[in-house]
Structure 1
């Protein structure tokens, strides 16, 4: 499944952030733009190639969300998985 959509969770498979969970803020043909609400905010998303992330089949509503909402989404997901 290669359908990347805004609001989905994604896990980094490559780079110095391997294993870190992000929320997909935006996508284009070859890249996804990832945010975590702390270091990678909505104003400064991480640009990563699609082949370097693994999507998690969980999607959240992020329309109108701020960095606090993104942090809350990731915290909730980590509590369920952790």
Structure 2
């Protein structure tokens, strides 16, 4: 499966089940997720890709950003917007 930086992902397993994250980085069978609060960009959550459900499109707010330039505030804003959908 192809996961990319900036895609939204819902946790499907674990104590954070049904929580929405943004994919910060991918590494083999793992993805690194951030919610901008408990799991900030500096300390992302490491999770196996089989335990997440991904939304294939990247929100336009995150399209021009990179792993080095993204900020927690931007992640919180995107998650807030898509949590209410």
Task: Tell me the TM-score normalized by structure 2.
Answer: 0.87
Mapping for residues 3-82 of structure 1, pairs under 5 Å: 3-60=2-59, 61=62, 62-63=65-66, 64-79=69-84, 81=85
**Partner Cα distance (1:58, 1:77) in 2:** 12
Aligned Cα RMSD in Å? 1.0
Deviations 1:5-44 (A, max 9, x none): 0100001011000110100000011100000000000010
Note the residue ranges of structure 2 that are not aligned, 5 or more in a row: none
Aligned length: 79
Task: Specify which structure has the higher proportion of strand.
Answer: 1
Displacement of 1:57 after TM fit? 2.2
**Partner Cα distance (2:4, 2:49) in 1:** 11
**Partner Cα distance (2:51, 2:82) in 1:** 21
Note the residue ranges of structure 1 that are not aligned, 5 or more in a row: none
